[in-house]
Structure 1
Amino acid sequence: MTGQAEKPLRLFILAGEPSGDRIAADLVSRLQARVPLQFAGVGGDALAALGLKSFFDMNELSVMGWADVLPRLPKLLWRARQVARAIIAAKPDVAVLVDSQVFNAIVAKQVHKRASEIPVVLCVAPAVWAWKPERAKALSPKFREILAVLPFEPAFMRGAGGPETSYIGHPATDAFTQRAEVPDTGPLMLLPGSREGELRRHLPLMRDVATALVGHPRVTGFVLPTPRRLKGRVERETSTWPVPVEVITGDERRGEALAASIGAVAVTGTVTLELALAGVPMVTTYVADKGQAKRWVRYKVKYASLPNAILDRDLVSEVLQLEPDPAALVAEVKSLLDAPDVVAAQLAGFSRIRDLMENGAEGEPRVDPAERILRYYPNK
């Protein structure tokens, strides 16, 4: 079944943001190591490095919240139709849609309606455990199966009546090594997100945090990692801040910052998992648009950050806001920097998270995502 197979596995893959691009690239590289692979779709730098020529710029899909979606809705719907038509025309052995939940749900629905024989797999489960659990059942007609990146999701999906779900781990688990200890002094990482709406809402908040903490005895400076495509924009905005901040890009620089930092202020999202796996104490925050805030209230969301959701307990602070409140966020960050016992508790929790991410939950072991996709390989 390996390199001697004559017929390639024909894969369509789509990723709509940097974290999904990394997950998709991990899957593609695993498949390339096992079988001849022919793939097409939409992705970013990580998939491009493996040979993908994206149909269009992946960043067109990187939106969150209705305030960001509504102005771009006509183009997003047009792109969804374009992708669905491409999948139907290509007749791949399997289509894997990574993250970008709303967009990919539209694509999958159209493919299922017009070509239900094409298996469509969703990689990265929607957060139905947080928002509207009844959505799990609605996923089954559109998706043959789900490849989950959080260890508790297979059991949740099974209980909620969702599609067959397997835990495949997360590339961040192998990409980050947890530190044994936290430095006494060092830079504070600022992580405002990478979507347009997130930057608009969180960069001013990060400015206020940096301004308030510039004299803290443990803080030697501020580092703000950002994707290369955003570096110019972020540098222009931070150049007007009353305190200096170093804007960095690239995995190597990011790794150096993770190793040297005393902590981080981060928007809730995948980055909080990466911080936990690297052993970086954190305070998480999010300034929601009105639509997001209404869903938080309606569905009584228990946890917004992934470390807390994975452990199902309060491990890291969550400062969730509708209107920016810098004072509340600064107070939480100061509490973290000034409380060694809180840092120690976070590090212990991060070790437990790493164990779950590496091995899976009890009864739901981590599986190789390539093996799940090879189920659809006609030469198997």
Structure 2
Amino acid sequence: MSPELRLFVLAGEPSGDRIGADLVNRLREQVAVDVSGVGGDALAAVGIKSLFDMNELSVMGWADVLPRLPRLLWRARQVAKAIVRTRPDVVVLVDAQVFSSIVAKQVYKAAPDIPVLLCVAPAVWAWKPERAQHLKPHFREVMAVLPFEPAFMRSVDGPETHYVGHPAASALAFRSAVPERGPMLLLPGSRDGELRRHLPMMRAVVENLASHPRISGFVLPTPRRLEATVKGRVADWPAKVDVITGEERKAAAMASAVVAVAATGTVTLELALAGVPMVTTYVADKGQARLWVRFKVKYASLPNILLDRPLVPEILQLEPDADALVSAVRSHLDDGEGPAQFEGFKTIRKMMEDGTEEDPRVNPAERVLHHWRDAP
């Protein structure tokens, strides 16, 4: 074992980019790390020179994936070949589930001795639990970011899984109360398809609620790569929208927000960890909708999934229905739903910080080092 850990990290979207960068920083508290792979701004800040633009992987739903499928498969081969050629000590693939699975299979076929770890477990608890068994040959371990996932993986004979928490639990402070008045956060997602489907509905929210007495303005956090695009799309909206970038500015906006309107995804967990009441929404393509119906998905947003109850409203649609979203947000503001959500978020915060009695939270760096130190 060399004195320096050679780590390959792949992330396919901003949330995974932040998780990957957090892992590298944690590892560097204990050992020297030479890092390579695919990432965005956060991983670039810790030393990655990305093989290609991470945003090529930021797609979701068959409507977005199919046109890009040949290029995605080519990129998967490129990543797998880079891993096999450079032989890193440990590989960590963060989320990007289908892409990561393709890469892991190709690496295992060519170099089964290279330990490949998956960070962020696939939602096998929502649909196709049998998928968990298919992960075992290709991933040495899954590092889960939801506290119930290790127990579920054991119950379906999935790969070894440890709960490592989410860096947002450390990065975001949980505020003491929900303000009576403040800005509304608009979080349409970071994928091109999500922006296309969600921004028109959020424009309607702005138009209808700009004069609401509890709303002091509108803030839209977005990745730096999308800043110019998003600013262009909201320039002619009926009220000013402050488009911001950077995690520090987003955290500050969360600290003062009265409510968020968010596309279901990792950001709903971040909002809960910061104590920001929300209304969630998602406009699915037909393939996603068929999965929801076929597997009788109970909840789509992470706060509801974690508590197994409808804590936050979910406006899930096949076609954008701005009126339904506007109505849900107005009801939230007028009926004072914030404090009830806030209490639920306290429970979520403790769960995410501690894990469960059976599966307490562990340091993800320790899991990576375990596979490095155990190498022959």
Query: Which of 219, 222, 230 is the matching residue for 2:218?
Result: 222
Mapped partners of 1:313, 1:179: distance in 2:
23
Query: Which of 360, 366, 369 is the matching residue for 1:365?
Result: 360
Q: Deviations over 1:263-289 (max 9, x none)?
A: 000000000001111111000000001
Query: Is the Cα–Cα contact under 8 Å of residues 131 and 301 in structure 1 kept in the other structure?
Result: yes
Query: Is the Cα–Cα contact under 8 Å of residues 7 and 379 in structure 1 kept in the other structure?
Result: no
Which segments of structure 1 move beyond 6 Å, counting only runs of 4 or more? none
Mapped partners of 1:256, 1:145: distance in 2:
35
Corresponding position: 1:117 with 2:113: yes
What's the secondary structure of 1:276's corresponding residue?
helix
Mapped partners of 1:316, 1:347: distance in 2:
10
**Equivalent runs, 1:258-297 vs 2, <5 Å:** 258-297=254-293
Q: Which runs of 5+ in 2 are unaligned?
A: none
Mapped partners of 1:218, 1:368: distance in 2:
40
1:175 aligned residue: 171
Query: Is the Cα–Cα contact under 8 Å of residues 9 and 378 in structure 1 kept in the other structure?
Result: no
TM-score between both structures, scaled by the size of structure 2: 0.97
Q: C-alpha root-mean-square deviation of aligned residues, in Å?
A: 1.3
Mapped partners of 2:321, 2:243: distance in 1:
24
Mapped partners of 2:229, 2:176: distance in 1:
35
Query: Which of 332, 340, 343 is the matching residue for 1:345?
Result: 340
Mapped partners of 2:15, 2:224: distance in 1:
14
For 2:205, give the aligned amino acid: V
Mapped partners of 1:372, 1:312: distance in 2:
28
Corresponding position: 1:355 with 2:350: yes
1:37 aligned residue: 33
Corresponding position: 1:335 with 2:331: yes
For 1:89, give the aligned amino acid: R
1:377 aligned residue: 372
Cα offset, 1:90, TM superposition = 1.3
What's the secondary structure of 1:377's corresponding residue?
helix
2:236 aligned residue: 240
What's the secondary structure of 2:261's corresponding residue?
strand
Mapped partners of 2:357, 2:304: distance in 1:
18
TM-score between both structures, scaled by the size of structure 1: 0.96
Mapped partners of 1:258, 1:378: distance in 2:
40
Query: Is the Cα–Cα contact under 8 Å of residues 178 and 339 in structure 2 kept in the other structure?
Result: no
Mapped partners of 1:7, 1:183: distance in 2:
50
Greater mean deviation of Cα atoms: 330-339 or 283-292: 330-339
Q: Deviations over 1:56-78 (max 9, x none)?
A: 11111111111111111111000
1:319 aligned residue: 315
Query: Which of 67, 71, 82 is the matching residue for 1:86?
Result: 82
Mapped partners of 1:312, 1:379: distance in 2:
38
For 2:67, give the aligned amino acid: P
Q: Deviations over 1:190-227 (max 9, x none)?
A: 11000000000000010011111112111121111111
Query: Which of 1, 7, 10 is the matching residue for 2:6?
Result: 10
1:27 aligned residue: 23
Cα offset, 1:291, TM superposition = 0.6
1:194 aligned residue: 190
Q: How many residues align?
A: 375
1:254 aligned residue: 250
Cα offset, 1:362, TM superposition = 2.5
Q: Deviations over 1:235-285 (max 9, x none)?
A: 111012222211111123212211221100000000000111111100000
Cα offset, 1:6, TM superposition = 5.5
Q: Which runs of 5+ in 1 are unaligned?
A: none
Corresponding position: 1:158 with 2:154: yes
What's the secondary structure of 1:92's corresponding residue?
coil
Cα offset, 1:359, TM superposition = 0.3
Mapped partners of 1:26, 1:255: distance in 2:
16
Query: Which of 302, 307, 320 is the matching residue for 1:306?
Result: 302
Cα offset, 1:80, TM superposition = 0.2
Query: Is the Cα–Cα contact under 8 Å of residues 178 and 342 in structure 2 kept in the other structure?
Result: no
Q: Deviations over 1:28-63 (max 9, x none)?
A: 111111112222111111111111111111111111
Mapped partners of 2:297, 2:187: distance in 1:
22
Cα offset, 1:129, TM superposition = 1.1
Mapped partners of 1:28, 1:251: distance in 2:
17
What's the secondary structure of 1:243's corresponding residue?
coil
